[in-house]
Amino acid sequence: MIGATLFALFTVLMLAGVPIAAALGVGGMVAIALANPDTQWFGLLAAPQNMEAGVSKYPLLALPMFVLVGSIFDRAGVAQRMVNFALACVGRSPGMLPLVAIAVAMVLGGISGSGPANAAAVGAVMIAAMSRAGYPAPFSASIVGAAAATDILIPPSIAFIVYSVNVPGASVPALFAAGVFPGLLAGLALMVPAVWLSRRRGYGGRERDLPRPPFWHSLREASWGLVAPVLILGGMRAGWFTPTEAAVVAVAYGLFVGLAVHRTICWRDLYGIFREAAEVSAVIMTVMALAGIFAYSVNTLGMADPLVQAVQAAGLNSTGALAALLVIGLIVGMFLDGVSIFLIFLPLLYPLMMVYRWDPVWFGVLLTMVVAIGQFTPPMAVNLLVACRLAGVRIEQTLPHVGWLVLGFVAAALLVAAFPLLALWLPSSMGF
Amino acid sequence: MKRRGVPIDFEEGLAVTCLALLVAITLLNVVTRYLTAQSFAWTEEISIFLMVVMTLAGAGAAAARDRHIRIEFFYEGGSAKRRRTLRIVACCVTGMLFAALALLSARMVADELRWGETTMGLGVPRWWYTIAIPLLSAAVAARCLALAWRTARTEPGA
């Protein structure tokens, strides 16, 4: 009964547009108060403690650091240079520019950790370039929105950091390693329909005969940016850094590249960059803090038990339950960002994971994949919204294009669901 | 629109300072670990404190700008009147939540003060850190209620 009240209140508040953080906090506190009518202060003294505990986790320090890395590389001008280099490699025939957009989004995904920031960085460079080459703006927006969704799979990923601090048995390095192949697979699964659609519909032939950028020169220009993911991932792989330290090294490296090498950042911009990163991190961490209260009430009131019993009573086997959860994740992902989804549902999903003995790392990757699909599926997709805003199109106009990209990404997710080794081989062979 | 009252720079500057300090401390830790094969374990406690302060200070700045993560489907749609109503509701709910949290955390700090709790790492009184929570929560509440008040005073559709 109290559980139903908690979720009903929480859902109504959220739909009304109350910030997700506040909806989680209010729902959690009302449930605690209803459950403890006779305790001193209705047991609510647990609320500030759990709020503090929600963000007082040392591994969480990686989150603001990677957000900062994203804002620095956003302004460091690496995206344009990577695009030039990629064009030097593949040329300008129809379908190549979307391919480049996806590849660059994936490399940037290896630097920053959040999808909307990636969509903004890639969109700022690619959407104008694609429209010059004769791609329709809604198509370009769909490509950029979908490509940026690979970001939360390709390490470093903010979503994985949040998952890890909330799920015992899934360490950040293990999740990061597990995301590599599914992320590459997802990128490939987007490239195939992107190239196929452009060829079939005759998009992007206008600049076919322009010369390619010179290979060695563009490689040298792009190399500063291309080294960043190698430094971050390689440094963690080699055991030089923890994820947090890798992030802070990337901060220093990005500032060096922006201030001294490309000279795209000047000292006066630093305050703005730090302010943006501090605010974005604070907004995410506010959700985490207040989700701490929500999770406490879900756990202490034993609200996950009826759910687990209901799923088992429905007679679903492991595959059926997994399929149902992933479909729910996909739908919810269309309305909410990945981090909020993890914080709301993990207290409920963790007991199910235990019952069915799913590998927490593999399940985290799968859940992240379906959530990523939701991030560019209309009508409420965050990444697609950013890309549409940059392209100056309405989200409905992307419908003829984005469906194919969704299909591609779903196929990649199904492959990872069917063959868990795609995710788990790398972390196990690296010994995480 | 003319803004009165406390400028938002205060919370923003605090959040930026915390982030800059976090970067500096973490970077320093990496460097010293490589040079001297030692690490400052005691900085962990300070980093966590800075994260809490950054979160709450940034929450206040984001509240004043109405930039917290939300489902925008109904919030940004519909008539101007409905948008105004929903905005006032959202601000009031958030404001009251943080006011309640300020009160409850003040009580938590009072308990820590009374029992003389000290921290694990540095052994300093815990309330040195936690005192920031009620103060900053109250600031977030004030930001939300101020925005609700400003929205309520504008004409619908204005």
User: Which tops the pLDDT comparison, A236 or A160?
Assistant: A160
Domain coordinates in residue numbering, chain B: 9-153
For residues A286-293, give the mean pLDDT.
91
CB-CB contact of A51 with A293 (8 Å): yes
Does the beta-carbon distance from A283 to B68 stay under 8 Å?
yes
Query: Which among A16, A286, A290 is the nearest to B74, CB-wise?
Result: A16
Q: Residue B156: its pLDDT value, please?
A: 62
Cross-chain Cβ contact B48/A285 below 8 Å: no
Confidence check: pLDDT of B157 > 70: no
- The verdict on a CB contact (< 8 Å) between B93 and A18 is yes
Please identify which residue in the block is written with the tokens 């969509």.
A119
CB A248 within 8 A of CB B37: no
Compute the distance between CA of residue A111 and CA of residue A257 in angstroms, rounded to an integer: 13
What pLDDT was estimated at residue A337? 77
Across residues B38-67, what is the average pLDDT? 88
Yes or no, beta carbons of A48 and B73 under 8 Å apart = no
Report the gap between the CA of B2 and the closest CA in chain A (Å): 22
Confirm if B87 and B80 have CB atoms less than 8 A apart. Answer: no
Q: Domains of chain A: which residue ranges?
A: 1-44, 59-429
* CA B39/CA B41 separation, integer angstroms: 6
Interface size A-B, in CB pairs within 8 Å, comes to 177
Q: Which DSSP category does A316 fall into?
A: -
Point out the residue among B12, B74, B111 whose CB comes nearest to the CB of A15. Answer: B74
| Chain A residues whose beta carbon lies within 8 Å of the beta carbon of residue B23 | 65, 68, 248, 251
CB atoms within 10 A of CB B153: 8
Least Cα separation, residue B144 to chain A (angstroms): 11
What is the C-alpha separation between A29 and A119, in angstroms, rounded? Answer: 36
Beta bridge partners of B118: B125
**Tens digit of each residue's pLDDT (9 = 90 or more) over A382-406:** 788 888 888 888 888 898 899 999 9
What pLDDT, on a 0 to 100 scale, did the predictor assign at position A43?
Answer: 84
Say if residue B4's pLDDT is above 70: no
Confidence check: pLDDT of B39 > 70: no
Residues of A in contact with B69 (CB under 8 A): 19-21, 283-284, 287, 337, 340
Note the pLDDT of residue A272: 92
Q: Is the peptide bond before A156 cis (omega within 30 degrees of 0)?
A: yes
Judge whether B26 and B40 are in contact, CB under 8 Å. Answer: no
Task: With beta carbons less than 8 A apart as the criterion, state whether A279 and B18 touch.
Answer: no
Q: Tell me, what's the pLDDT at A37?
A: 84
Q: Chain B: nearest CA to A405, how far in angstroms?
A: 23
Which of chain A's residues have a Cβ under 8 Å away from the Cβ of B16? 271, 274-275, 278
Cβ–Cβ of A17/B72 closer than 8 Å?
Answer: yes
Under the banding of pLDDT at 50, 70 and 90, the label for residue A110 is confident
Q: CA of A313 to nearest chain B CA: how many angstroms apart? A: 33
Q: What is the DSSP string of A359-397?
A: -HHHHHHHHHHHHHHHTTSTTS-HHHHHHHHHHT--GGG
**What pLDDT, on a 0 to 100 scale, did the predictor assign at position B1?**
40
- Nearest residue, CB atoms, A17 vs list B55, B75, B111: B75
Question: CB-side exposure of A411: number of CA atoms within 13 Å?
Answer: 14
Search chain A and give the residue with CA nearest B75: A17
Top residue of A30, A248, A268, A271 to mutate, by most chain B CBs within 10 Å, is A248
pLDDT confidence of residue B5 = 66
pLDDT of residue B2 exceeding 50: no
d(CA A431, CA B32): 27
Structure token digits, residue A398? 């992307």
The per-residue pLDDT for B102 is: 96
Mean pLDDT of chain A: 87
Give B93 to chain A, closest Cα distance, Å.
7
Give the gap in angstroms from C-alpha B105 to the nearest C-alpha of chain A.
Answer: 5
Convert the pLDDT of each residue in A57-71 to its tens digit. Answer: 888 888 899 889 888
Determine, for residues B94 and A18 on separate chains, whether the beta-carbon distance falls below 8 Å. yes
Q: How confident is the model at residue A40 (pLDDT cuts 50, 70, 90)?
A: confident
Q: Say yes or no to pLDDT of A412 above 90.
A: yes
The distance of B72 to chain A (nearest Cα, Å) reads: 6
For the cut 80, the answer to whether the pLDDT of residue A431 exceeds it is no
Task: With CA atoms as reference, report the closest residue to A109 among A245, A228, A262.
Answer: A228
> Residue A82: CB partners within 8 Å, gap ≥ 6?
A104, A107, A108, A222, A225, A226
Give the distance from residue A4's alpha carbon to the nearest chain B alpha carbon, in angstroms: 20
Is the Cβ pair B19, A68 closer than 8 Å?
Answer: yes
Q: Do B16 and A274 touch (CB under 8 A)?
A: yes
Contacts of B101 in chain A (CB under 8 A): 25, 47-48, 51
pLDDT for residue B119 is more than 60: yes
* Range among A164-173, A265-274, B81-90, B134-143 rated most confident: B134-143
Number of residues in chain A: 432
Closest CA to B71 of A42, A336, A109, A91: A336
Cβ distance A278 to B12 less than 8 Å, yes or no, reads yes
pLDDT at A86 over 50: yes
Distance (Å, whole) CA A229 – CA A306: 44
pLDDT band at B79 (very low <50, low <70, confident <90, very high): confident
Using an 8 Å Cβ cutoff, are A334 and A376 in contact? no
Q: Indicate yes or no: CB of B130 within 8 angstroms of CB of A52.
A: yes
CA distance linking residue A262 with residue A82, whole number of Å: 13
Please report the pLDDT score of residue A385 as a whole number: 82
Of A26, A48, A287, the CB nearest to B133: A48
| Nearest chain B alpha carbon to A280 | B58
- Using a CB-CB distance cutoff of 8 angstroms, which residues of chain B are in contact with residue A16? 74-75, 86, 89-90
- Distance between CA atoms of residues A378 and A113, nearest Å: 22
pLDDT value at position A63? 87
Q: What angle do CA A157, B73, A74 make, to 5 degrees?
A: 35
B69 and A44 in contact by Cβ < 8 A? no
**Residue B141: closest CA among chain A residues belongs to which residue?**
A22
CA distance A430 to chain B (A): 23
Residue A144 confidence class, pLDDT cut points 50, 70, 90: very high
Averaged pLDDT for residues A310-334: 84
Q: Identify whether the C-beta of residue A368 lies closer than 8 Å to the C-beta of residue A158.
A: no
**Amino acid identity for residue A405 in this structure:** L
Let me know: does B54 contact B22? Beta carbons within 8 Å.
yes
Q: How many CA atoms lie within 13 A of A55 on its CB side?
A: 28
Q: Which of A369, A427, A344 is nearest to A6 (CA)?
A: A344
Q: Do A45 and B16 touch (CB under 8 A)?
A: no
Q: Which residues of B touch A291 (CB under 8 A)?
A: none
Q: What is the pLDDT of residue B3?
A: 53
What was the pLDDT predicted at B74?
A: 81
- Which of the residue ranges A268-277, A327-336, B30-39 would you say has the lowest mean pLDDT? B30-39
Taking contacts as CB-CB distances below 8 angstroms, the residues of chain B near A290 are 97
